[in-house]
Amino acid sequence: MAYLQPASGDPIPPQTIRALAAILGLSIPDEDLETLSTALRDQLASVDVLLALDLTGATPPPAFDPRWHD
* Section 14-34 average pLDDT: 94
How sure is the predictor about 1, in pLDDT bands with cuts at 50, 70 and 90? very low
Chain CA centroid to CA 47, Å? 6
Cβ neighbours, 10 Å, residue 17: 20
CB-CB contact of 44 with 18 (8 Å): no
* Section 14-30 average pLDDT: 94
pLDDT winner (highest mean) among 29-33, 36-40, 52-56, 62-66: 29-33
37 vs 43: CA distance, rounded Å: 10
16 vs 61: CA distance, rounded Å: 39
Residue 68: phi and psi, rounded to 5, are -85, 140
